Structure 1
Amino acid sequence: MKIWNEIWDYVKMIIIVVIVVLIVNNVILINAKIPSESMEQTIMTGDRIFGFRMAYGINFDFFGKHISKKMKDPERYDIIIFKFPDDESQLFIKRLIGLPGETVEIKDGKVYIDGEYRPEANDYCPETPTGNYGPYTVPENSYFMMGDNREYSRDSRFWNNTFVSFDEIVGKAVIRYYPSITLLK
């Protein structure tokens, strides 16, 4: 009888650990490995990051049911992890450039928002961006995303579904933990 009590204690402990891990992984944190060069020099290919799923509120799928409650708006230049609008089975990571209601245009690689040149939008780029894109008018509850490595990033400029809706946001990238620990800005 004593052995069964001991086994039951181990089973309970394993169940509790599994439940805690599921909650942390599906509600609080997202662990991701960066697969491409689209965010270099900020985040390099192969880096591992943690994102905070609740940075903007509650937004997750739980046993097939989508739960979403916005508590805070994403801010310009946040690094966001989201479901790719053209294929929601893939997660992407990009920098938020355009907010709802704004018009984003890229002229000679320079970002203009509502007709005003925004030099800080290119501060994250490892080289001088080129090209002309837009204008794109960002719908309500949606965002325009670009990679920091603009010459090698497939971002809002190239997608069939140009904008990321709030419901597609998974979290905000907050820390790179491999190969070194760095807070992401």
Structure 2
Amino acid sequence: MDWVITLGVAIILALLIRHFLFAIFIVDGESMYPTLEDSEWLVVNKAVYLLDDPKHGDIIVFHATPTRDYIKRVIAIEGDELEIVNGTVYINGQILDEPYINEPMEFYNNYQKILVPENHLFVMGDNRNKSADSRMPDIGFIDLNEVVGRAEVVFWPLTHMGRVQ
């Protein structure tokens, strides 16, 4: 009987941790290359945004559709004015320093000045030419309620293990 109780408590704790604190996410595609590679396994911190909102540069997982989650970098937050001119991203009139991008934008490299609405984010993949992100009308701004959490650690494959930046 002790084993059954112990096993039951362990399962309940695991489910609570999985539901409220952490999730596993598998990168699917090249949209975040070179920061993240296809088929890498990540730990996503679900609790980090319970007390605070996503910040510029955070790499987040969000519900893109009812059955599909995406991973992208936060480029602009609510209240930011965003513009993309010839592939250069401007936030509030300042050029965004982006040492993480794979290559200059060839597609959707111009985006008229917009204001990010309240409780929303504008996200893009680091591999701008192979990323479905907020530049596309069918994705657009990300509602804060759709954010699952922040990507924290790559843990598989072991050769790629490390903190996500």
Alignment TM-score > 0.5, same fold: yes
Quick one: which amino acid aligns to residue 146 of structure 2? E
- SS of residue paired to 1:96: strand
Task: Give 1:116 shift.
Answer: 2.3
In structure 2, the residue matched to 1:21 is 14
Aligned partner of 1:172 among 150, 153, 164: 150
- SS of residue paired to 1:56: coil
- SS of residue paired to 2:78: coil
Q: Taking structure 2 as the reference length, what is the TM-score of the superposition?
A: 0.92
Counterpart CA distance in 2 for 1:40 and 1:21 is 31
* Cα RMSD for the two superposed structures: 1.3
Task: Give 1:161 shift.
Answer: 4.5
**Percent identity over paired residues:** 32
Aligned partner of 1:126 among 82, 102, 106: 102
Say yes or no: does 1:37 pair with 2:43: no
Say yes or no: does 1:75 pair with 2:50: no
In structure 1, the residue matched to 2:164 is 184
Task: Report the count of equivalent residues.
Answer: 161
Task: Give 1:134 shift.
Answer: 3.1
Task: Give 1:128 shift.
Answer: 1.9
The runs of at least 4 consecutive aligned structure 1 residues that moved more than 6 Å come to none
Task: Give 1:17 shift.
Answer: 1.6
Unaligned runs of 5+ in 2: none
Counterpart CA distance in 2 for 1:124 and 1:137 is 24
Counterpart CA distance in 2 for 1:134 and 1:153 is 19
- SS of residue paired to 1:19: helix
Counterpart CA distance in 2 for 1:134 and 1:109 is 12
Unaligned runs of 5+ in 1: 1-7, 58-70
Relative to structure 1, the CA distance from residue 154 to residue 161 in structure 2 (aligned partners, 3 Å threshold; closer, same or farther) is: closer
Quick one: which amino acid aligns to residue 20 of structure 1? L
Q: Taking structure 1 as the reference length, what is the TM-score of the superposition?
A: 0.82
Counterpart CA distance in 2 for 1:143 and 1:152 is 20
Quick one: which amino acid aligns to residue 115 of structure 2? T
Say yes or no: does 1:117 pair with 2:95: yes
Quick one: which amino acid aligns to residue 104 of structure 1? L
